[in-house]
Amino acid sequence: MDSGIAAEQQESSFHDRAHRLLASKTSLIWVVTWEEARLETQLGRLADHTFKKPIPLLVWSATTGLVDRRDNQVFAGTESPRSALDAVLRIETTVIVLLEDLHPFLTDPLVVRRLREVSRSLDAGYSSIFVSAPDLHVPRDLEKAVAVLELELPGPEELGSVLQRQLDGSPGTHLAEPELGSALVRAAAGLTEDEARRAFARLLLNKTEVTAENLSEIYEEKRQIIRKSGILDFVPPRGGLDQVGGLANLKKWLQMRKRFFGRQARNAGITMPKGVLLTGVSGCGKSLSVQAISSFWQLPMVRLDMNRVYGAPGGPEEGLQRAIETAEAVSPCILWIDEIETAIVGMSGDPTGLATRIFSSFLTWMQEKTKIVFVAATANEIHMLPPELLRKGRFDEIFFVDLPSEQERTDIFTVHLRKRGHHPEDFPIVNLAKSTGNFTGAEIENVVVSALYRAFGEDRSPDGDDLYWAVGQTIPLATTMAEKIKEIRRWADQRAIRAS
Ligand SMILES: Nc1ncnc2c1ncn2[C@@H]1O[C@H](COP(=O)(O)OP(=O)(O)OP(=O)(O)O)[C@@H](O)[C@H]1O
Ligand SMILES: [Mg+2]
């Protein structure tokens, strides 16, 4: 299934990398994953195809002991890790061994010792031991002896076959159009195989036809799962760029980079855009524009809440780490950090240096990340932004979003009238734009909303007078904050380019 944009993100698959390790006689391999069943399937494939002849895959867990996966034959008396390792040592042919859930036993120095000995004695041949664990807490004594592999979340191809199997199993249900398949696969990016299977199964349940409307069910599933990570929120795509009035420069910039996320660009070795920072006057569409990027680029978006990073149970460092891992797992994606300055608040009053440390690990990650996680940040209190954040190489561009021009105000009226089912041509929007100098986008939206309310309350269709009335009711914030806006503009003049 070709889902275009959500192409494989890693140059080589787990299979290829594991194959290389086996071929080079690596005897101890640590695999970071939550997905034991999927790992078993992958290793089964390696056991079948790496060597001239298929070799056995033996799987150990503390409850079952060592089991030969081909015939489910159990090696008696191998429930303890040491007895299992002893049994492995006695096998003379080439095998792949998967030890599931070994990590709780690795606090026992004797188990660690035995594992090292067994792995060393396997070095001569092609047998190898895989240890699966949800994280990378390798005991120090083993660090030198293990190779580490990550079983990435399933890519579009694997998700595609999961979907296909579910469809095959539900003959009463079909997709309204074939392209929907890729859209579903894209929507499921970031789920484990199990999660995706459950999500698809629920989606197909009791339906004869799946339509684009149903995509939101997958997004909801994903939202729940990402929520469980505790730090990130999944933001379902809403309106596209057509919901944003004005900001032509920003739109052009986004338009030019849309292609970068396609498979071709990636294969051509094009450097991916890293991120964008939107600063500017409150209520003029910064957050709105960030949300529009997601649907415009057709990439999933997750939001990082810095307050949650600081409140994370394992401490902020672990919180940030987990957030980054989750975002990378959903890659390619957009990571939205709204009001990034709040992350840095109190840095001056930061006696322990914690905030500074968190922030600098974030910057380092931004600089060095290899996964496609496009950072879209917004900032209001620009004077709080440290120079490190603004340095070249961090964000590809810093945009300044000013109060909308007259033409832009016309566009914003158009957007909001249309959004509510009205024809902009029926209203004097050009003149309205003239009489709303200094209004923010949010205030124009409010004008439209109040005008519609008034007409509705009087049981008639809205007209120009309702809008003029609402304009008269509004005191634009910019009038009272003229000084502050001047200051923002001065700052932006030297550091940012205009979004309009
Ligand atoms: N350029 C615009 N086009 C269309 N609607 C807009 C525009 N700017 C603002 N709005 C409307 O105002 C609302 C608030 O804007 P938004 O939240 O994007 O502002 P912001 O720049 O992020 O402000 P803040 O700095 O206060 O967070 C939007 O949801 C949208 O409905
Ligand atoms: Mg905002």
Ligand lying closest to the C-alpha of residue 411? 1
- pLDDT for residue 12: 65
The pLDDT assigned to 266 comes to: 58
Q: What is the pLDDT of residues 376-403, one digit of tens each?
A: 999 988 888 888 888 877 899 999 999 9
* Ligand 1 touching residue 477 (CB < 6 A): no
Is 495 inside any structural domain? no
Evaluate whether residue 236 is within a structural domain.
Answer: no
Ligand 1 contact via 287 beta carbon (within 6 Å): yes
The residue whose CB lies within 8 Å of the most ligand 1 atoms, and thus the one to mutate among 281, 287, 448, is 287
Kindly give the distance from the C-alpha atom of residue 23 to the centroid of ligand 2, in angstroms, as a whole number.
Answer: 53
Position 359 scores a pLDDT of: 84
Among candidates 251, 168, 180, 247, which has minimal Cα distance to 217? 180
Ligand 1, atom 25, lies closest to the CA of: 282
Write phi, then psi, for 87 (nearest 5 degrees). Answer: -60, -40
Position 108 pLDDT exceeds 60 = yes
**How far, CA to CA in Å, does 37 sit from each of 24, 132, 163, 258?**
25, 11, 17, 36
Q: Do both 388 and 294 map to the same domain?
A: yes
The CATH number covering residue 461 comes to: 1.10.8.60
How many distinct structural domains can be found in the chain? 4
In this structure, are 254 and 395 located in the same domain? yes
Domain of 174, CATH number, reads: 1.10.8
For 41-61, the pLDDT digits (tens) are: 999 999 999 999 999 999 999
What is the average per-residue pLDDT within 32-36?
Answer: 85
pLDDT level of residue 204 (50, 70, 90 thresholds): very high
In a domain, 490, yes or no: no
**In the structure, what pLDDT confidence band is assigned to residue 297 with cuts at 50, 70 and 90?**
confident
Same domain, 350 and 331: yes
Does the beta carbon of 244 sit less than 6 angstroms from any atom of ligand 1?
A: yes
Please give the pLDDT value at position 5: 28
The beta strand positions in 333-465, using DSSP E, are 333-337, 373-379, 397-401
pLDDT at 179 over 80: yes
At residue 451 the predicted structure's pLDDT band, cuts being 50, 70 and 90, is very high
Residue 65 lies in a domain: yes
- Rg (C-alpha) for the chain, rounded Å, is 28
Ligand 2 centre and the CA of 278: distance in Å? 10
Distance 64 CA to ligand 1 centre (A): 58
Q: Tens of pLDDT along 9-25?
A: 344 688 999 999 999 99
Nearest bound ligand to the CA of residue 279: 1
CA of 376 to the centre of ligand 2 (A): 12
The verdict on residue 373 lying in a domain is yes
CB 479 within 8 A of CB 438: yes
Q: Which domain holds residue 187?
A: 156-228
Q: Are residues 203 and 337 in the same domain?
A: no
412 lines ligand 1 (CB under 6 A): yes
Residue 296 lies in a domain: yes
**pLDDT (0 to 100) of residue 213:** 86
pLDDT at 189: 79
Q: Is residue 379 in contact with ligand 1, taking CB distance under 6 Å?
A: no
Q: Are 372 and 264 found together in one domain?
A: yes
Mean pLDDT of the chain: 88
Does any ligand 1 atom lie closer than 6 A to the CB of residue 400? no
Same domain? For 414 and 458 the reply is yes
114 and 41 in one domain?
A: yes
How close is the Cα of 335 to the center of ligand 1, in Å? 19
Counts for the chain of helices (H) and strands (E), in that order: 22, 16
pLDDT of 402 reads 95
Is the pLDDT assigned to residue 76 strictly greater than 80? yes
Model pLDDT, residue 9:
39
- Ligand 1 in contact with 451 (CB < 6 A)? no
Domain check: are 392 and 253 in the same one?
A: yes
Of residues 265 and 249, the one with the higher pLDDT is 249
Select from 126, 150, 174 the last residue of a domain. 150
**Best probe residue, ligand 1, of 284, 416, 474 (max atoms within 8 Å of C-beta):** 284
Q: Which residue's CA lies nearest to atom 1 of ligand 1?
A: 245
Residue at 101 is within a domain: yes
The domain boundary residue, chosen from 121, 150, 179: 150
Give the pLDDT confidence score for residue 462 in this predicted structure.
97
Please report whether residue 182 resides in a domain.
yes
Contact 462, 451 (CB under 8 A): yes
Let me know whether 195 and 180 are in one domain: yes
Query: What is the pTM assigned to this prediction?
Result: 0.71
Last residue of a domain, one of 340, 374, 401: 401
How confident is residue 6, by pLDDT bands cut at 50, 70 and 90?
Answer: very low
Does an H or E element contain 361, and which? helix 354-368
455 and 397: one domain?
no
Q: Name the residue of 289, 418, 445, 477 whose CB sits within 8 Å of the most ligand 1 atoms, as the mutation to test its pocket.
A: 445
Measured distance between the N- and C-terminal CA atoms of the chain, rounded to whole angstroms:
39
Is residue 376 domain-shared with residue 356, that is, in the same domain? yes
Looking at the CA of residue 245, tell me the nearest atom of ligand 1. Answer: 3
Strand order in the sheet with 301-304: 232-235, 301-304, 333-337, 373-379, 275-280, 397-401, 497-498
Calculate the dihedral angle through the C-alpha atoms of 167, 172, 177, 181, rounding to the nearest 10 degrees. -10
Which ligand is in closest contact with the Cα of 410? 1
- Are 382 and 424 part of one and the same domain? no
Does residue 413 line the site of ligand 1, with CB under 6 A?
no
CB-ligand 1 contact for 112 (6 Å cutoff): no
3-state helix, strand, coil split of the chain in percent (to 5) is 50, 15, 35
Q: What CATH code is carried by the domain that includes residue 44?
A: 3.40.50.300
337 lines ligand 1 (CB under 6 A): no
Ligand nearest to the CA of 403: 1
